[in-house]
Structure 1
Amino acid sequence: MQAHSHKHFMVVFFLILLSFSVTTYVVIMGYTATIDRYVIEKIIPTHTESLTAAMQFFSFIGDIVPAVIISLICIMIIYLTYKKWQEVFLFIAVMIGSTALNTFTKWMIKRERPESTFVYEAGFSYPSGHTMAAMSLYGIIIFLFWKHTRHAVARVSILVFGITMIVTIAFSRLYLGVHYISDIIGGVLLSGLWLYVTIYVYQYLIEKQSEES
């Protein structure tokens, strides 16, 4: 990779890291309490029976078991279609790393969840695990299938599908009252940072391997 690519990577990396660090700091200090309550209060009037059922479905899709099943299916498709073990390893690294980061950060911050009238959720609140899982899973799906697709319509479809899944799963956690908006923002930033780093390292190693062969 050229020098300007490394500089671009470092600039974006530190911007995302700074954003996550600031978000985490204001959460720890309690500065987000007002906006967190405001968003929850604004969402409550939108509750309907059908929308609640839909949000419970998307929240379930973002849970660990469905996410693992979807990941395994995608890994099989990637390997059987493109025969690239490097991409399989990338996929696995993204998902395992994202899960580890979420578990560690939750343990460090130990933020209590809001009280939900829909479902009971154990564990800590910040950052949102469902949001991180969705961001990592559908983010890497977008990246891998985009790079193997040349048709504009197919690429747009992949992008729209991935973004829709990320946004809907994240919103479902707000709607069901098991996360604050700051939990969602923290999850997007942390998983986005990890996704960005792993993809960059992957591309760097692939280019280096290509130059040496």
Structure 2
Amino acid sequence: MNKDTNKSIEKTAMLICGAIFLVTMIGAFWHLSLFHMMDKGTFNWFDHMFEEPKMNFNGGLFNDFMTLVSTYGDVVTFVIMTVVVAVALLIKRYYLMGLWLLATVGLGGILGIIFKDLIHRARPYDHLLADTGFSFPSGHSLSSTLIVIILFTVFIPNIRNKAVKVIVTLLIFVLWISILFSRMYFHAHFLTDVVGGVSLGITWVMASILIFRACTPMLSKLPLLRKGKIFNVK
């Protein structure tokens, strides 16, 4: 696909996901009956299917996997990953991309904190003690979505080997879905919390990519960035 097509897709994804986040946020804030029914229905399904699982490595293979992705698929892990990748990009003189990555993930996380305090939604009554803070949007869902969408739209398209590209894409997608699932599996969040985190993450990354495309020609001329390389965002 050419850049014009990509821009169109990015704008469409941003608008659709932005609308989903807005509607979900309103539903969570005003406790609308439709969203309450969705949350209650999915919560009861998870409770019926898995009862009250513990976050440990002594509950069987599936519970062990859920514990793994929930423990290491958290905000701290994705922040560390972001910093490591950004530093690597800066070392390789991809200054704009390194700074963009830090700004996108950092500001996305700040948006999540702001909306948590704004909505002020309590977590499910029987959530694990390890899960603290307000519930909407889900921090795990937001942080994992930020990183995964950046990988899907910015980095993976630059993989030349098609087989490797497919395998990497599938592995990352499965890991991402597993993290989202674990949030409800451990009763840490309601369905709308997860939807809110995902939709906010996609909206912000798409907006950030559009900003990056528009500002790169101007920023690349600045004295501090002039000697840097331009990362190819397809």
TM-score between the two structures when normalised by the length of structure 2: 0.78
Tell me the residue number matched to 1:203.
Answer: 213
CA distance, structure 1, for counterparts of residue 210 and residue 131 of structure 2: 34
Please state how far the C-alpha of 1:110 moved relative to its aligned partner: 0.3
CA distance, structure 2, for counterparts of residue 33 and residue 207 of structure 1: 47
Once the two structures are superposed, residues 63-95 of structure 1 have per-residue CA deviations (whole angstroms, 9 ceiling, x without a partner) of 232222222332244445x53111111211121
Q: 1:129 aligns with which of 121, 139, 142?
A: 139
Does residue 20 (structure 1) correspond to residue 21 (structure 2)? The answer is: yes
Q: 2:77 aligns with which of 63, 66, 77?
A: 66
Identify if the C-alpha distance between structure 1 residues 14 and 141 changes in structure 2 by more than 3 Å, giving closer, same or farther. closer
- Aligned sequence identity (%): 20
CA distance, structure 1, for counterparts of residue 94 and residue 4 of structure 2: 27
Tell me the residue number matched to 1:100.
Answer: 110
Please state how far the C-alpha of 1:7 moved relative to its aligned partner: 6.7
Q: Counterpart amino acid of 2:24?
A: T
CA distance, structure 2, for counterparts of residue 145 and residue 6 of structure 1: 16
CA distance, structure 2, for counterparts of residue 22 and residue 83 of structure 1: 41
Tell me the residue number matched to 2:39.
Answer: 36
Identify if the C-alpha distance between structure 1 residues 127 and 87 changes in structure 2 by more than 3 Å, giving closer, same or farther. same
Matches within 5 A, 1:51-200: 51-80=62-91, 83-116=93-126, 118-200=128-210
Cα RMSD for the two superposed structures? 2.8
Identify if the C-alpha distance between structure 1 residues 89 and 45 changes in structure 2 by more than 3 Å, giving closer, same or farther. same
CA distance, structure 1, for counterparts of residue 78 and residue 10 of structure 2: 29
Once the two structures are superposed, residues 149-191 of structure 1 have per-residue CA deviations (whole angstroms, 9 ceiling, x without a partner) of 2221122223223322221111111100010000000111111
Please state how far the C-alpha of 1:204 moved relative to its aligned partner: 2.4
Identify if the C-alpha distance between structure 1 residues 209 and 151 changes in structure 2 by more than 3 Å, giving closer, same or farther. farther
Tell me the residue number matched to 2:230.
Answer: none
CA distance, structure 2, for counterparts of residue 157 and residue 65 of structure 1: 26
Q: Counterpart amino acid of 1:57?
A: L
Asked whether the 8 Å contact 1:134–1:165 carries over to 2, the reply is: no
CA distance, structure 2, for counterparts of residue 142 and residue 116 of structure 1: 35
Asked whether the 8 Å contact 1:114–1:179 carries over to 2, the reply is: yes
Q: Counterpart amino acid of 2:25?
A: T
TM-score between the two structures when normalised by the length of structure 1: 0.85
Once the two structures are superposed, residues 40-73 of structure 1 have per-residue CA deviations (whole angstroms, 9 ceiling, x without a partner) of 2212344372222321221111223222222233
Once the two structures are superposed, residues 79-122 of structure 1 have per-residue CA deviations (whole angstroms, 9 ceiling, x without a partner) of 45x53111111211121011111000011100000023544422
In terms of fraction of residues, the more helix-rich structure is: 1
Asked whether the 8 Å contact 2:11–2:207 carries over to 1, the reply is: no
Give ranges in structure 1 of 5+ residues lacking alignment: none
Higher deviation after alignment, 140-149 or 31-40: 140-149
Tell me the residue number matched to 2:56.
Answer: none
